[in-house]
Structures are given as structure tokens and as C-alpha cells.
Amino acid sequence: MVTGAAIPAVELDHVTKNYGSVQALKSISLTIEPGEVVAVLGPNGAGKSTTIALMLGMRRPSSGSVMLFGENPRLANHRKRIGVMLQESGVPETLKVRELVELFGRFHDSPMVTQEAIKIAGLEEKANTRLSRLSGGQKQRVYFALALVGNPDVLFLDEPTTGLDVEARRNFWDQINIQVARSKTILLTTHNLEEADALAKRIIVINQGEIIIDGTSDEIKGHVGGKHVRFHAANLSIEDLQAIAEVQSVRLVNKKFEIYTKQPEAILTTLFKDGADLSDLEVEGAGLEEAFLALTGNGHHYAAEEQAV
Amino acid sequence: MTTTSVSQEPETGGATTTTGRKAAPWGYFFYCELMKILRNPPAVLFGIGFPTMFFLIFGNTFPLAATSTLAGLAAYGAFVVSFQTFSMSLANERALGWNKLLRSTPMTPALYLGTKFLVIIITGILSLLLLFVVADLNGKVHLSLTIWAELLGMMVVGMIPLSLTGIFLGFIGSANLTNVLATLLGLLFSFGSGLFVPLSIMPSAVQNVAPYLPTYQLGQLAWIIVGSSYQDSHPLWVHLLVLVGYAVVFAVLSVWAYIRDENKNFA
């Protein structure tokens, strides 16, 4: 970037987005500088796709401001500088891979040679094949080629590896890392912590329309390395367990308590010291979604709902 | 593209080869749109092939009315492409998310719609030319080159208001709804306007409703040009005027449907 070293690639300032009565985003603020590689990480329905749609000018914020290259993202001339992979977007099935890639190259001022984008996406053998004859994974690679072919300044990749098998996912990561090495600005969304870690230096965790953490992958991993502790205990209540300092959240599942914590040993020590009568005890690594619940404090709220049922 | 920006984007120091090409994407987009129609068997069959097929059936069955049949089927050809093919293509691409992906490119919705409209007109012309050539070779229709040209020109003009009905239908609802309505209304309007079989042998209720249909006006234009006995007592300009009225109404309705879709999916 020569012209706009001081201008952020993307800037969201106190952005909210409502769909009818549903609040998809609650006051999101973030800045992405040129050359940054950022993963927006969150469970399904967290607001990741909405965030990208706002950045691309496909949706209008309900309040707050969204800037792409320092201007309104709804201006069409900015789109020569971006490459995009979207969820829930399709391409005409009667067109051939080469034709689509060629078309998207022509949308930009200095595109790659069409054949090169096809090669990067690993579609050389399918170049003259119609889209209707490709598998889901192959189509996903076509979308990647469409995003890359324009040599864009910024790549927006919304859940780029959804539907790919493990090997295809690894290949995809290698390709992304080549783009990272070329100092492209990249913003990708994922619900996979491993993927965010493999690709991005900066990870923004969002859940229920809010940014929970914005930091390096090490910082994030420190937050999500929690465990589930489950047991039966007739003489204990949810309130008793919440009173223990190391407990991040508690809920009742099938009459068993389920605690989310990063220090299961400390909790069990406390419980045994208090003479708690535990049975069917199990300790298990918790998934990312549970970590989000704990991080947002929604675990307690969730527990209350489950009890009411 | 309307803007031919030649400004060189500052590039990242990558090792990728760039073409350095500044060619406007519009021409290639047009090519892709045309390929989409020509590689789509139902579109080719219904849009381009049906009028000719019907002519070979009806024209040969009633040789004395061959010229009137031809004119009616010319109107049908112009109608089915601009109403049915157009609305289905728009609705299906909305369902597919193609227009969504295009929104991330410099392609504007107006350019997208304009290109599709142009391709529809070209498809209509292909359909009409096929019909005309087959009808002429078939030997039962004898028209001068001037009349052929007038008929073609008038049908292309008629495609403008009918394309607006197609745009309206393409944006009004889901792809399923559009596909059902387009097929059903396509048949009802064509039969109800006497484009397949003469109105005179239809029940009087159909005859009474017919003048309110846009396809009736298009049929009248065709029959007046070939001097058919199927024409009513109104002069050509009256039918044109009614079609202009249709164009205005459906332009407004199309804008409404478009904004409604826009507010639902892109606001």
C-alpha cells in the first residue's frame, strides 16, 4: 500500500445490526490495518457473516460507521481492490471454471493470468468443466480462485474451509499462507480454533454479536483451554457451586452438574475438603463453544434456562 | 463498465504475474450471460424452439390460416422469452446467491440487469429468426422482406414492456413461486390472447377478458402487420399506447419489487 499507509483497510466503529427484532451485532468496534491477517472466530450464529457483509457494504449498519479503505463500503469502485469468498453464494452452473475465473479477473485492474489462479486453486484439470459437474469441495476451490484472481489488496474469506475434508483444508491453509507471505491483508471467519491459529496472528473472538477477545492466538488459547467437570451430587445446588472461585459456569444436564473451568483440580479439592458426596465423576476437555459461553458469562444464564425447563 | 479507471493500483510485492490488462469486464459478462442461456436446454427449448415447433404443428394443420398462426406465434415467442425466461433466470439467480457474489465485484445491479435484458432481447430475436426462416421454407407463409422486418422490429419493441413484467415477476418472491407463476401465466396469457388458437373459437368470457392482457396487444400488433383477419377494430397506435401503459405500470411495480428485495437481503 503506497497511497494509504495511514488509512485502515477496514474500520468498524460502534457498529450494531438488527434484523427486525433480532440483534445480530451489539456495538462492534475494530480496525484492520493493511497487511494484517485477522481471523474472526466464533460459533455458528455469532455474527461473523453479518460482520463481513457490513464490511463489504452488502448490509447497512443499524448504527455506527463502517469504512472500507476509509470510505463508505457501498461504493462500487472499492470492489476492484477486494477479493471475496462468501457463504451462501452460488455461481451459474452452466459456466465453465475458466470462464468464471476470467470474468472475475476482468473486474480488477491488474489481475493474475487466469490460468495461474486456476493453478493456485488446484483446478487445472477442471478448467474446462462446467460448474454443475464439480463436487462441493471443488466449487469451494473455484470460489477461492475467484477471490484471488484479481490480485486484490484485501481478501475477505467467510468460512472458507466449510465442507472441505481434512486434506483439502490443509492444502487451503498452505495457499492462504502463501498469500500471507505476500503481505496481503486477509480477513477470514471460522468456527475452528485450529484454523484461526494456523492462519492468523490476530484473532477476534465474537459471540452473540459481541467481541469477547481481540488478541494474539496465544492470548486466545489461554482463555479456551478449559475442562468440563460432571458429577451427581444430591446435597449440592447450582448456587453452592457458583460460589467456588474457579468455577466459570455451571449448568444442570440430565440431573448431573456440568462445570466449566480451567482449574478442575482446584475445584475438586475444594469440594472434597467440604465433604461433598460426588458420584459418576468425569473430567473432559471442553469445546470452543463451551469456552465462549464461559467467557461471555452466558453459562450462568444458560443454567437458569435449563433448570426452568 | 461506465468508468474506465486506468489508475494503477499499488501492488503488493508478490511474485504473481499480472496480465496488465485493463479490458472492461462488461463485454465478457455479456458473453457469459449469453452462454448461460444457450447452454440451458429448457431455456433453449421453451424460449427459442417452442414457437417454431408450434408453427410446424398448427401451421400445417390449418394451412389457410398459416400467416395468422405465424404472427400469433411470433408474439408468443417475444412474450415467452421476455416474461418466462427472463423472470425465471432472475429469480433462480437470486436463489442461487449469484447476485450476492456479484455485489462484491464492481458489477452494479443496474449493469447486471441491463446486460440480462440485452441478452433476453437477443434470445428473442434468435427465436423469431428461427421461426421466420422455418415458416418461409415451409412454403405456406408468403411475406415480403419488408413485412418480415417490420414484424421482427415490432416484436422486439413489444419485448420491452413484457420484459418489465418479467423483471417484476423475477423479484417478487421465491424462485419456486416465480417458476410456477411464469409457466402458468405464460400459458394462460398465450391461450387467452389467441396466440395459439384463434380467439373467435374461444368462449365469450375469454374473448371479453383478452383485450386486458398485454399479450393480446402484442398479438394485435403482429396481426396488423401481416394483414391478418384476427385483428380487431383498433388501429396499431392504440395497441402500442396500451403497451406503453403496461410498461409504465410494470416499471413502477418492478422498482417496488426490487426495493423490497433489496431491503430484505441487502439492507
Position A44 scores a pLDDT of 81
The side-by-side arrangement of strands in the sheet containing A37-41 is: A82-85, A154-158, A185-190, A37-41, A202-207, A210-216
Question: Which residues share a beta bridge with A85?
Answer: A157
The pTM score is 0.80
Per the CB < 8 Å rule, is A103 touching B24? no
**Nearest-by-CA chain A residue for B13:** A182
pLDDT at B6 over 50: no
The verdict on A42 and A107 lying in the same domain is: yes
pLDDT at B243 over 60: yes
Position A224 scores a pLDDT of 65
**Nearest-by-CA chain A residue for B17:** A112
Per the CB < 8 Å rule, is B106 touching A84? no
The verdict on A108 and A181 lying in the same domain is: yes
Cell 423479484, residue?
B171
Residues of B within 8 A of A111 (CB-CB) are 18-19, 21
The verdict on A22 and A92 lying in the same domain is: yes
Q: Give a yes or no: residue A235 inside a domain.
A: yes
| DSSP-derived pairing of the beta strands A82-85 and A227-232 | unpaired
Query: B241 to chain A nearest CA, in Å?
Result: 38
- Rounded Cα–Cα distance for residues B73 and B239 (Å): 18
Q: Give a yes or no: residue A2 inside a domain.
A: no
Domain end marker among A175, A202, A223? A223
- Rounded Cα–Cα distance for residues B203 and A219 (Å): 79
CATH code of residue A263: 3.30.70.980
Q: What confidence tens digit (pLDDT) does each residue in A98-138 have?
A: 999 999 999 998 899 999 999 988 899 999 999 999 988 88
The verdict on A216 and A249 lying in the same domain is: no
Domain end marker among A164, A192, A223? A223
Tell which B residues from 84 to 103 touch A, by Cβ distance under 8 Å: 93, 96-98, 100-101, 103
Residue-number span of the structural domain to which A230 is assigned = 225-308
The verdict on A174 and A86 lying in the same domain is: yes
Q: What confidence tens digit (pLDDT) does each residue in A232-290 have?
A: 888 888 888 888 888 888 888 888 898 888 888 888 888 888 888 888 888 877 655 55
CATH code of residue A92: 3.40.50.300
The verdict on A259 and A196 lying in the same domain is: no
A32 vs A198 pLDDT, higher one: A32
- Rounded Cα–Cα distance for residues A34 and A9 (Å): 5
Q: What confidence tens digit (pLDDT) does each residue in B55-85 have?
A: 998 888 887 889 999 999 999 999 999 999 9
Please, are residues B171 and B254 in contact by the beta-carbon 8 Å criterion?
yes
Q: What confidence tens digit (pLDDT) does each residue in A170-180 have?
A: 888 998 888 88
- Rounded Cα–Cα distance for residues A16 and A32 (Å): 18
Q: Give a yes or no: residue A5 inside a domain.
A: no
Of A111, A130, A156, the CB nearest to B21: A111
Domain count, chain A: 2
CB within 8 Å of B86: residues ≥ 6 apart:
B116, B117, B120, B163, B166, B167, B170
